[in-house]
Chain A
Amino acid sequence: MNKVLGIFGLLLFVCLFTTVMSDSFVSEYNLYNITRWSALFGILSIGVAFVIITGGIDLSIGSVVGLVACLLPMLVTEYDVAPWAALLIVMVIAGALGLLHGILITRLDLQPFVVTLCGLLFYRGFARWMTDDGTLGFGQEYDDGLRLLAIGKPCSWATMLLIGGLGLVIWGIWKAIRPSSTHVDPASTEARAARLRSWSLPVIGAFLALVGASRFFLGWELGEGTVLLQAGGYQIRSLGIQVPADAVDVPSRVMRVAGTILFIPLVLWFLIAAGRGNLKRVRWPVAAVCVSLVLLALCVWNLVPLYDRAAADDLWQVGVLRVSGNALKSGLMAVVFLVVGASIGAIGWLLSAAASASPICKALIPALIASGVLMLLGQTNFAATMVPMPVLFLILIAIAASIFLNQTIYGRYLFALGRNEEAARYSGIDTKRMIVVAYVLCALAAGLGGILFSLDVNSVQPSGFGNFYELYAIAAAVLGGCSLRGGEGNVLGVVIGAAVMRVLYNAINILGISTKLEFAIIGLVILAGAMVDVVVKRVIASRAAKADAAQVANR
């Protein structure tokens, strides 16, 4: 869980920094694009996460994406295959490629790196030869049909919040009322914290549902709904709910107000509980949060307007220094960068210090983060933004993958064999078959990704389409907490990791940083993430050792 919070902090940091520096980041158009691209890469990342959990690697993802992206328009436009059949064919091909990888790796004992590297080269070369390196696309013909799979907008985020919130309520209540098998004194702090934790889920859910439902407060009517997919004379349409135009902004307002109302008492409760738990341990983090937030406010009110006013070719007098507008802009950006980073870091410090000081605090963290994020999101018109189709796919896949990994025996087998294949085999697990399954799932995800990417872009260059996507996916999975040693990883982290990659890319564009630096910046951020992870682990370990030593000395 800590890893997920860490990567979430990174996401928050990049978002916050970009928002502070530029208004256009939170524009409806930009939010729509970020969520769409994050979802597309998230699908690939979840796929490769399965393989990484087994301790393997799949380098062929980008080429599978490219191959599928070439095959689909070819089948549909040149060979006049029915769209649904074409989809089926390319998915079967992708699955077969995964099966091939898995069989080569398990039966011939080839190394995953080698097998999938050869896949990377072969599929790319094959796709280029097959298409004669010509650009492919679907033209305008499928804009109201097949392409809606990728570019459709089924509903707004408010509707998603309503559905997701209700789901969370039901799931949370079901979890909370299930008899727990642990025998803890019901009056103890631990038991109170456990109750708090289990009930915070449905409360968050109810809150989300409330925000979503507010959209329909001013009334609604059923209409046609947009066409999501047209196949063989049948249509799949989104919920045809129409709301009055002035209702569109209501959820954002509700989010902002209700988020704030919920957030402030939660913060107070959290701080009081932390102070009662161990005041000494939390006083410095609290001070750090206060100072950094004051600095952040100063940045927003003073530096950012200055940044906006500064033209690149002017000369500026800052104190005794005369600087060029460019240097001033870069300097201001660096200062804001540091201050935002310090704020997020201080909040993370406070959360971890408070969590170790009091179990109540630990139980409050999810609700605290949820309400805080809603309060921030309420400042934008995120709730009115439309949901891209790929996000729906991603949500379904993420839920399915999460259930598979955490609730089924096969998921458990993947983790076990990823960390120690021999021990898993000695326990009667068919490790080879499970590894094959992982590669097939990865290739299927790549296949789906390829379909969506090609439908979305509508112009596929066989030589470059999907290049480096495997590395983006692997980086997202690793950022999200998968260990390349295997046996570790979780879906939520991977999805957030994919979002970080896209937001970073987007931020570079929006902030006007040279796109030539794109790879360098992404590389640096991943490196920094990995370094922080290691450093934090060491600090925690050494602190535990010191506390332990003190305990021994007191004995």
Chain B
Amino acid sequence: MIATSGSNTVPLLEVRSLCKRFPGVRALHQVDLRLGAGEVLALVGENGAGKSTLMKILAGVQPPDEGEILIDGRREEIDGVSRAMELGISLIHQELNLSDNLSVAANIFLGREPTRWGLIDHATIRRESMRHLSAVGLDVSPDTLVRDLTIGRQQMVEIAKALSADARVLIMDEPTSSLSHKESEALFRVVRDLRRRGVSVIYISHRLGEVEALADRVMVMRDGENAGELVGEQIDHDAMVSRMVGRDVSRFYERSQKASPEVSSRPPALEVQGLVVPEHPRHAISLAVRPGEIVGLAGLVGAGRTELLRCVFGVTQPLGGSVRVQGKTIDLRSPAGPIANGMGLVPEDRKEQGLVIDFPVQTNVSLAGLASQARNRLWINFDAEAQDTRRSIERLRIKTPTPQQIVRYLSGGNQQKVVLGKWLSMNPGVLLLDEPTRGIDIGAKEEIYSLMETLAAEGMAILFVSSEMEEVIALSDRVLVMHEGQISGELAGASITEEQIMNLATGST
């Protein structure tokens, strides 16, 4: 399409040998980057490859240690977010930076409010906001409060905000990670539209399918360095992955062996009967998972999968129905009941719900099991704690210098392994996982897949929620699909296909 990386034209944005270090980490090393006007450049790489750091430097959030940044061929010091915005660079964070108590219009002009006689000029704000909202195809009133919008629409507001600041370079960090399929499509339309209007986009994503569909050029990063560039026809899944991991990998994980047919005759380890989840009070949900079985819970974002898991685990209290583990009805007033009966939940948000992220690995691994191994249910058993942690670190291959390392400084994949370690040290019969591989790199993903497989083979009942279709298809013995708070269908064996799941998930059958 547009090959602006040629040497005769001056690129809109150029980065030369950028370096950045953090304590204990070399985040960026001699990184180069060129971006032409109206180009969509995708930036891919595993977690910790340095993508986010590079973008934060461009957006003025952090200063670089070495290297230079050129805009229109002129050397610029980007020493703050406001300077970056003056130069036309806007960053849209993975976690949106909107004040959800303010209106759409107020957010778009936050910090740059036009004034008349020293007072905020509301009329101009509304008029201009409407113009920018229509530019991103968002049909909402500028007076709507941001918190009343869906995540997808909030993202559009962020883009409109960037446009209102005359952004020439729009950096999007994992924009689709919490969007539904439909919302993602809308976002892609906007990105293509921006490209037509000459706005350049740097698009960071783990979802290589999107990158294939959207990008003019792909830059791959690995360990803080450039690891290759792909243009046009070269952009393809395997080519990207092999550069990301530095080796050839098969297209997707394949489970070596699905559960044997004998499994279906076992009594269920987890039985949910007529459970009424408080967020979806009009539906009662029943399901069963047998020992040795991996059951996938598919559906769109907002279909009620997370809410269901949280309710089964006693985080929220059901309005009706019951949960039985190994045939025994359990007390759902708090997670203590399910945990005592051999259930574990790897929650959706590992930083907020899974981990005390400022505490050491050991403290996190032992947190749930502390009471059961305590002497007289009071005194911490430090020896058992250290042993359990060591065992978890070995078994899950958690890469940490010592068990006393603060979890925050581990990579996403290793953090998730710490959460898993917390439950595995208790030998649960039932394991619930909510988006277990979200935001972690390919190597760690595969380790978690093979771990799930091993655990199932050992007789654990596994119920997992995932928005990644390939994952659900590759791992599940059965798939339950949810749509608007209820289970809209069950698939097993050969009928587990992407089409079938989408049909059930969108309620279009």
Contact = CB atoms under 8 A, between A and B. Distances in A.
Interface string A523-555: 000000000000000000100110011001000
A416 B380 contact: no
Nearest to B336: A428
A420 interface: yes
Contacts of B371: 409, 428
Nearest to A545: B23
Contacts of B370: 409, 412-413
A424 interface: yes
Nearest to B346: A426
B422 A409 contact: no
Interface string B1-45: 000000000000000000001111110000000000000000000
B30 to A, nearest CB: 12
Nearest to A182: B386
B315 A408 contact: no
Contact of B335 (A409, A412, A415, A428): A428
A137 interface: no
A45 to B, nearest CB: 23
A419 B23 contact: no
Nearest to A410: B378
Contact of B21 (A424, A427, A487, A545): A545
B378 A409 contact: yes
B23 A424 contact: no
B367 interface: yes
A429 B314 CA distance: 12
Nearest to B371: A409
B105 interface: no
B363 interface: yes
Interface string B183-203: 000000000000000000000
B252 interface: no
B377 A428 contact: no
A407 B335 CA distance: 24
Nearest to B378: A408
Contacts of B378: 408-410
Contacts of A412: 363, 367, 370, 380
A426 B363 contact: no
B14 to A, nearest CB: 25
Interface in A404-435: 407-410, 412-413, 415-416, 419-420, 422-430
Contacts of B422: 427
A514 interface: no
A416 to B, nearest CB: 5
Interface residues of A, number: 27
Contacts of A428: 334-336, 338-340, 368, 371
B356 interface: yes
B347 interface: yes
B338 to A, nearest CB: 8
A181 interface: yes
Residue of B23, B338, B368 with most chain A CB atoms under a 10 A cut-off: B23
A487 B356 contact: yes
Contact of B380 (A181, A407, A429, A549): A407
B386 A416 contact: no
Given A425-B334, A427-B422, A552-B21, A419 B358 contact: yes
A422 B23 CA distance: 29
Contact of A423 (B22, B23, B26, B355): B355
Nearest to A433: B334
Contacts of A544: 23-24
B379 A423 contact: no
Contacts of B363: 412, 416
A181 B21 CA distance: 35
A181 B383 contact: yes
A425 B359 contact: no
Contacts of B339: 427-428
A419 B356 contact: yes
A10 B427 CA distance: 48
Contacts of B338: 428
B374 interface: yes
A427 B335 contact: yes
Given A427-B368, A428-B335, A428-B339, A420 B356 contact: yes
A430 B380 contact: no
A425 B21 contact: no
A427 B379 contact: no
Nearest to B25: A548
B23 A420 contact: no
Contact of A487 (B23, B352, B359): B359
A408 B363 CA distance: 13
B386 A181 contact: yes
Contact of A427 (B23, B24, B357, B367): B367
Contacts of A426: 313, 315, 335, 345, 347, 353-354
Contact of A416 (B25, B313, B356): B356
A419 B313 CA distance: 22
A138 B347 CA distance: 59
Residue of A412, A422, A426 with most chain B CB atoms under a 10 A cut-off: A426
Contact of A409 (B347, B357, B374): B374
A230 B357 CA distance: 52
Contacts of B368: 427-428
Interface string B278-321: 00000000000000000000000000000000000101000000
Residue of B339, B353, B377, B387 with most chain A CB atoms under a 10 A cut-off: B353
Contacts of B353: 422-423, 426
Contacts of B379: 407-409
B21 A548 contact: yes
Contacts of A545: 21-23
A55 to B, nearest CB: 12
Contacts of A424: 356, 367
A419 B359 contact: yes
Interface string B257-275: 0000000000000000000
Contacts of B340: 428
Interface string A377-415: 000000000000000000000000000000111101101
A528 to B, nearest CB: 25
B352 A420 contact: yes
Contacts of A422: 352-353
Contacts of A487: 356, 358-359
Contacts of B352: 420, 422-423
Contacts of A407: 379-380
A544 B22 CA distance: 9
Contacts of B359: 415-416, 419, 487
A423 B356 CA distance: 6
A429 B374 CA distance: 14
Residue of B357, B367, B374, B383 with most chain A CB atoms under a 10 A cut-off: B367
A412 B379 CA distance: 10
A171 B22 CA distance: 41
A549 B27 CA distance: 11
Nearest to B337: A428
B21 A549 contact: yes
Contacts of A423: 352-356, 367
B335 A181 contact: no
A289 to B, nearest CB: 28
A552 B26 contact: yes
Nearest to A488: B358
A419 B364 CA distance: 12
User: Which 8 residue pairs across A and B have the least CB separation, nearest first?
Assistant: A428-B339, A427-B368, A428-B336, A420-B356, A427-B367, A428-B335, A545-B23, A544-B23
Interface of B: 21-26, 313, 315, 334-336, 338-340, 345, 347, 352-359, 363, 367-368, 370-371, 374, 377-380, 383, 386-387, 422
Given A423-B354, A426-B313, 6 more contacts: A412-B363, A420-B358, A422-B352, A428-B338, A545-B21, A548-B24
18 contacts: A181-B387, A408-B379, A409-B371, A410-B378, A412-B367, A416-B367, A420-B356, A420-B357, A425-B315, A426-B345, A426-B347, A427-B335, A427-B339, A428-B335, A428-B338, A428-B371, A429-B336, A544-B23
